[in-house]
A and B are shown apart, each in its own frame.
Chain A
C-alpha cells in the first residue's frame, strides 16, 4: 500500500499526516520532541503510521462484521494497551540510563554527576532515591493506562517528567538526596530517550504484547491486527513544511512554505474557507485563500512572537498551571480584565500585578486570551480582513477561551461569518504538505519513493 507524507516541523511540535492511494487520510502523528529535527520527523511519521495501522485494524473489523460498542471498546482497549507498551518501553530506556549515570557511567563528553571521580559515597542517597522513584513509576504504569484513567498528555516527556519530578521531591525530603541532582538527571536522560531512533517494528512488537494482555483475546480482533500489521506500507512522496522545514532531510522541491500548506490544508478540511488564521507556537499567520485553496494574500507576525502559543505557555508557567488548563479556567470568567501589554514578559508582570490587586485568576486569563486574539485581529485586518468561511487552525485553536474571544471579535468587526475549527486543526499544515506531496506524486515528479527518514 502506497502513501504520501506531509510533515510539519513546528516550533513546539512536529506533525505528520499520511494519505492513502485515493487521497484519504490514513493516519496522523505528533511529537513534542524538539532536540533533533531529524528525530522529531521520524517520530511523527512513525506515530502517523501507527495511527494508520489502527485505522486498518478498524476497517478490518468493519469487514468482519464487528460493529457498535463492541468494536469501539475492543479498539479502545487495544490502543490503550498499545500505548502502555510504548510507555513501558520508553520507561525501560529511561530507567537504564538513569541508573547508568548514578553508577558513574555517563556518555563521553557529558559532565559527570559528581566532581570527584569516586562517586561511591555521595551516590548512596541518590541511588536509594532513584531506586524508589523508578520502582514507583513502574508500579504506577498499569493505573496510568487503566480503562477510564485520564492522562494529562500523550507525550512521554510530559507523563514521565510530571511523575518523576513529583516523586523526586518526595524522595529528596525522605532520603536527603539532592533534588537538583535528581532533576538534573531527568533533564539529561530525557533528551537521550527522546532521541532514540523509533524502531520500525514498533507496531508489530507492541501490538502483539498489547493483544497478549487481553484476558479473553477476541479472535476477530486478533485477525484484524494480523492483517493490519502484515500490510506493507510504502512511501511514494513526501513534502515538508513548518518553521524548521529548511532542516528537513528533503530536497528543496519537496519543501513548501507553511503559508501555502495551511491554506491548502484548511481548504481541504473546509472547502468553503476563504480566510485562515493559524496561531502556532511562535508565529501567527493570517491567510486569504481562493476557492481552490490557493493563497492570495497573507500576513505574519515579525520580529516579535508575543501573542503566539508560547505566550500561553509562559502564562501557564507564571500561574503554575498546565497550558491545557488555561482555556477552561478563562471560560469561567465573569468579566474580562483589560491587559495592555503586548510583550509577553510585560504581560506576565501585569498578570502578577492584577493578582496582587485581588483580581480573579479566571478574569485575568480571559483578558490575556483577548489580548492574544487582538494581535491576531490586527494581522487579519492587514491581510485583507475576514471573509466567509473562516477557519481557525494551530494549537491555540484547541483553547476554548481563545476561540470564544476570536468569535466575539470577528463578529464585532466582520459580521456573521461561519467559523470552522476542526478537532484535527493542529494537523492542518501537515495535511496541506501531504496534499502537495500527493500532487507531486500524481504528476510523477516525486520519484524517490523513499521515506523522509
Chain B
C-alpha cells in the first residue's frame, strides 16, 4: 500500500494515507483561493451541506463556502468555545443551534477559516435547504450582517416517503426561475447546461467510488470506520468539490487504498494507529461530537467497536437506494438530490433505512448520538430506536452530546453509557447466563 506512514505503526501521531494528503491539499487550495477572492474577483457563495447544489455553483465558477463545515472545523481546532461565547455575548441564547453560534462568533472574530486565512464576505447566500428551519434564521442574520442577497430554494419534505413529479417540478422551476438567474447575475456568466452535465458526470463517477468505499464495511473485519473515518471520506463530496476532477481522483485513490486494506484483511486505522480486533459492529445515527472527536472515537476503538454504517455520512445526500447524479436530467437530478438528503426523509423511511443497514452490514445494533443542537436529526430518535430494535431484534443504545459546544460533551457519562451498551451486546450475544 502506498502510504506515508511513520515507521512505527500504532504511534500517537496520525497516519495519513495519500488520499488524506490529497484532501488536505484540495482544502488548502480552496481556502487560498477564497482568501484572495476580493483581489482576483472570484465570487463566494455561502450555502449549506444537505442536498447542496455544488455542481451548479461550479458551473458558474462560483466558490462555495459552507458555514456548517467551518463551525465543525473550528470545534476540531478547539476554537468553538470562544466563538460560541462571542455569539452569546451578542444576545444569542444558550438554546440556539451551536453551529450557528460558532459561525457567528467566528465571523465576529475576523472570519478566519480553518486554514488560518480570512474568508471573503458572501456575494450571495444560497439557502439551498429549507428542511432545517434554523438555516432560514441563520441566513437571515448573515443577510443583515453582510447586506448580501439571498437566493432561496424551497425544498419540499418527503412527508409520504417519496419524491413525486410535482415536487420535482416545483424544485426545478425554482432552480430555473430563481436560483439560476441569481447565479448568472452574481457571476456575470450565462448558464451553460453542457458544462453542468460534464460536472454531473464527474459527480456520478466519484459517487460510485464513495459508495463502494462505504459498502466495503460489509466485510469482516470492516476495513473502514464508516462514522469517525466516514466523516473524512464524505468531506470532498459533500462540500465544495463534487463535480471536480480533484474529487474524482480523490475517491479513486481512496477506493484503491481501501481495496488494499481489504486484500490484507486489515481493520480500520484510528488516530492512534491500527485498530485491534473487531468486537462490535455498530450502526450509528446522528452527527458526531466535534469538540472531543478523537476522545469520542477512542471510546469506540478501545472497546473494539467499529461503526460499519452511519446516517451522518448521508447528510449531504443519500446514495443507499441507487441515486447517482444523472447528467442526462441535470436540473431534475439536482432536485432529486436536494429532496433525497437524509434529514429530508420522514421517520418511517429513516426506520426502514436503518433496519436495512443493520441487516446489510450484519451489525450488532443501532446506537444513537442525540444532538442537543440539531432537531432535524434528533426529533423522533427514541421512536426510531424502539422501532429498529423491535424490527431487528438487535439492542439499541442512546447517548447525548452536542455538535460544537464543549459544555455538552460529558466524557464520563458518555463513556459509561457506551461501555454499558457494548457490554449489553456482549451479554446478549453470549446468552447472558454463562
Knowing A300-B417, A302-B410, A303-B408, say if A260 contacts B398 (CB, 8 Å): no
Q: Contact check, B424 vs A260: say whether CB atoms are below 8 A apart.
A: yes
Q: Which residues of A contact B159 (CB under 8 A)?
A: none
Closest to B426 in A: A260
Q: Contact check, A294 vs B427: say whether CB atoms are below 8 A apart.
A: yes
Q: Contact check, B389 vs A294: say whether CB atoms are below 8 A apart.
A: no
Chain A, interface SS category: mixed
Q: Contact check, B432 vs A443: say whether CB atoms are below 8 A apart.
A: no
Instruction: Indicate if B433 sits at the interface (CB-CB under 8 A).
Output: yes
In chain B, positions 401-434 with a C-beta closer than 8 Å to chain A are 408, 410, 413-414, 416-417, 419-420, 423-424, 427-428, 431-434
Q: Contact check, A300 vs B413: say whether CB atoms are below 8 A apart.
A: yes
Closest to A382 in B: B382
Instruction: Indicate if A439 sits at the interface (CB-CB under 8 A).
Output: yes
Q: Which residues of A contact B417 (CB under 8 A)?
A: 300, 302
What's the Cα separation between A354 and B200 when bound, in Å? 67
Instruction: Indicate if A10 sits at the interface (CB-CB under 8 A).
Output: no
Q: Which residues of A contact B398 (CB under 8 A)?
A: 299, 382
Q: Which residues of A contact B156 (CB under 8 A)?
A: none
Q: Contact check, A303 vs B419: say whether CB atoms are below 8 A apart.
A: no
A86 to chain B, nearest CB (A): 34
What's the Cα separation between A297 and B414 when bound, in Å? 16
B381 to chain A, nearest CB (A): 10
Instruction: Indicate if B386 sits at the interface (CB-CB under 8 A).
Output: yes
Q: Contact check, B420 vs A298: say whether CB atoms are below 8 A apart.
A: yes
Chain B 91-114, CB within 8 Å of chain A: the 1/0 string?
000000000000000000000000
What's the Cα separation between A68 and B231 when bound, in Å? 71
Q: Contact check, B389 vs A297: say whether CB atoms are below 8 A apart.
A: yes
Q: Contact check, A297 vs B427: say whether CB atoms are below 8 A apart.
A: no
In chain B, positions 59-107 with a C-beta closer than 8 Å to chain A are none
Closest to A285 in B: B420
What's the Cα separation between A391 and B427 when bound, in Å? 21
Bin chain A's interface residue count. 20 to 34
Chain A 379-394, CB within 8 Å of chain B: the 1/0 string?
0001010000000000
In chain B, positions 145-204 with a C-beta closer than 8 Å to chain A are none
What's the Cα separation between A266 and B424 when bound, in Å? 16
Q: Which residues of B contact A439 (CB under 8 A)?
A: 433-434
Q: Contact check, A292 vs B432: say whether CB atoms are below 8 A apart.
A: yes
Knowing A303-B400, A443-B434, say if A257 contacts B395 (CB, 8 Å): no
Knowing A302-B410, A303-B413, A382-B382, say if A257 contacts B434 (CB, 8 Å): no
Q: Which residues of B contact A298 (CB under 8 A)?
A: 420, 424
* Residue from the list A292, A295, A299, A442 in contact with B424, Cβ < 8 A: A295
Instruction: Indicate if A369 sits at the interface (CB-CB under 8 A).
Output: no
* Residue from the list A243, A257, A442 in contact with B420, Cβ < 8 A: A257
B304 to chain A, nearest CB (A): 12
Q: Contact check, B396 vs A297: say whether CB atoms are below 8 A apart.
A: yes
Knowing A294-B428, A384-B386, A439-B434, say if A302 contacts B400 (CB, 8 Å): yes
Instruction: Indicate if A256 sits at the interface (CB-CB under 8 A).
Output: yes
In chain B, positions 338-382 with a C-beta closer than 8 Å to chain A are 382
* Residue from the list A260, A292, A295, A299 in contact with B433, Cβ < 8 A: A292
What's the Cα separation between A384 and B410 when bound, in Å? 24
Q: Which residues of B contact A299 (CB under 8 A)?
A: 398
B403 to chain A, nearest CB (A): 15
Q: Contact check, B395 vs A297: say whether CB atoms are below 8 A apart.
A: yes
A345 to chain B, nearest CB (A): 17
B147 to chain A, nearest CB (A): 39
What's the Cα separation between A351 and B103 when bound, in Å? 41
Q: Contact check, B423 vs A296: say whether CB atoms are below 8 A apart.
A: no
Q: Contact check, A293 vs B413: say whether CB atoms are below 8 A apart.
A: no
Knowing A260-B423, A295-B424, A295-B427, say if A302 contacts B413 (CB, 8 Å): yes
What's the Cα separation between A171 and B431 when bound, in Å? 63
Knowing A292-B433, A293-B432, say if A259 contacts B420 (CB, 8 Å): yes
Closest to A305 in B: B413
* Residue from the list B396, B400, B416, B432 in contact with A257, Cβ < 8 A: B416
Closest to A260 in B: B423
Closest to A301 in B: B413
In chain A, positions 260-319 with a C-beta closer than 8 Å to chain B are 260, 290, 292-300, 302-303
What's the Cα separation between A427 and B424 when bound, in Å? 21
Q: Contact check, A256 vs B432: say whether CB atoms are below 8 A apart.
A: no
Q: Which of B396, B414, B432 has the most chain A CB atoms closer than 10 A to its own CB?
A: B432
Closest to A299 in B: B398
What's the Cα separation between A168 and B431 when bound, in Å? 59
Q: Contact check, A257 vs B413: say whether CB atoms are below 8 A apart.
A: no
B414 to chain A, nearest CB (A): 8
Q: Which residues of B contact A256 (CB under 8 A)?
A: 423
Q: Which residues of B contact A295 (CB under 8 A)?
A: 395, 420, 424, 427-428
A5 to chain B, nearest CB (A): 19
Knowing A297-B396, A300-B413, A302-B410, say if A257 contacts B423 (CB, 8 Å): yes
Q: Contact check, A296 vs B413: say whether CB atoms are below 8 A apart.
A: no
What's the Cα separation between A299 and B432 when bound, in Å? 20
What's the Cα separation between A442 and B433 when bound, in Å? 11
Q: Which residues of A contact B382 (CB under 8 A)?
A: 382
In chain B, positions 179-237 with a C-beta closer than 8 Å to chain A are none
Q: Which residues of A contact B386 (CB under 8 A)?
A: 384
What's the Cα separation between A295 and B395 when bound, in Å? 9
What's the Cα separation between A256 and B432 when bound, in Å? 13
What's the Cα separation between A260 and B431 when bound, in Å? 14
Chain A 431-453, CB within 8 Å of chain B: the 1/0 string?
00000000100110000000000
Q: Which residues of B contact A302 (CB under 8 A)?
A: 399-400, 410, 413-414, 417
What's the Cα separation between A259 and B417 when bound, in Å? 9
Q: Which residues of A contact B433 (CB under 8 A)?
A: 292, 439
Q: Which residues of B contact A290 (CB under 8 A)?
A: 432
- Known pairs A256-B423, A303-B408. 18 more at Cβ < 8 A? A243-B416, A257-B416, A257-B419, A259-B420, A259-B423, A259-B424, A292-B433, A294-B424, A294-B427, A294-B432, A295-B424, A295-B428, A297-B389, A300-B413, A300-B416, A302-B410, A439-B434, A443-B434
Across chains A and B, which 9 residue pairs bring their CB atoms closest together, nearest first? A257-B420, A294-B432, A259-B420, A292-B432, A295-B424, A302-B413, A257-B423, A302-B400, A257-B419
Q: Spell out A's residues near B (CB within 8 Å).
A: 243, 256-260, 290, 292-300, 302-303, 382, 384, 439, 442-443
What are 15 residue pairs bridging A and B, where the CB atoms are less than 8 Å apart in the complex? A243-B416, A257-B419, A257-B420, A258-B416, A260-B423, A294-B428, A295-B420, A295-B427, A295-B428, A296-B428, A297-B395, A297-B396, A299-B398, A302-B414, A382-B398
